[in-house]
Amino acid sequence: MAGEGDLKVLGVWTSPFVIRVRVALNLKGLPYEYVEEDLGNKSALLLSSNPVHKAVPVFIHGDRAVNESQIIVQYIDEVWPAGAGGRPAVLPSDPYERAMARFWAAFVDDKVGSAWTGMLFKCRNEEERAEAVARAQDALETLEGAFKECSNQGNKPFFGGDGIGLVDVVLGGYLGWFGVVNRIIGRRLIDPARTPLLAAWEDRFRAADAVKGVVPEDVDRMLVFLEKLRTLGPYKPE
């Protein structure tokens, strides 16, 4: 097994999927090298490390590459388990709670993620964007109920309870782009009036040490990058 110093992440700074990997590594206190990729001119290392999808993120541990963000996060949690060096757990130890965390993480990518691509990349007019926003808000209202259940009626700060867990990491990866959506639609997507628990969660997640400097906050810069992404052709999640 390679040592802790042999870690590398190939990514793009705006990618929700890359962000969740970087947050997981930060939670574990693991030093790693971050390599920014150019999606218009992908590196030989990226193409050889992920020959199936040719997409970021790629997590390189020694001479082994791991792909797909949720798989990477779970890999990190297994290789560097809770307790060693005071590291927190990303997934709960209880099998049922672990299954529920995986369920809600999959829900985020299926419902919130698909609405996100619709809002920013697939909408041809304002009517289609409004429909995608409505889908996102419906999914977020469902997550409001999930958070209430996972956090002991809102008495815990995160989906993972006292600390950031898998669902927090997966949903939190989208928050930079939610800032862009907020600018476009003129209101907050995670609406404190409709989803007060999630709104408070968002503020706590953004303030966490493992998240600072990873979730983008410069909306103007992200809007410029959005236009660059659109010039690359039909968007597929990276």
Q: pLDDT by residue (tens digit) across 136-151? A: 999 999 999 999 999 8
The CA distance from 162 to 157, in Å, is: 6
pTM value? 0.94
Ranges in the chain, pLDDT < 50: 1-2
Taking the C-alpha atoms of residue 214 and residue 235, their distance in angstroms, rounded to an integer, is: 22
What pLDDT was estimated at residue 1?
46
Per-residue confidence (pLDDT) for residue 231, from 0 to 100? 86
CA distances from 106 to 80, 109, 171 (A): 22, 5, 10
How many residues are present in the chain?
A: 238
Contact by Cβ (8 Å): 166, 160: yes
Domains detected in the chain: 7-86 (3.40.30.10), 95-219 (1.20.1050.10)
What pLDDT, on a 0 to 100 scale, did the predictor assign at position 144?
Answer: 97
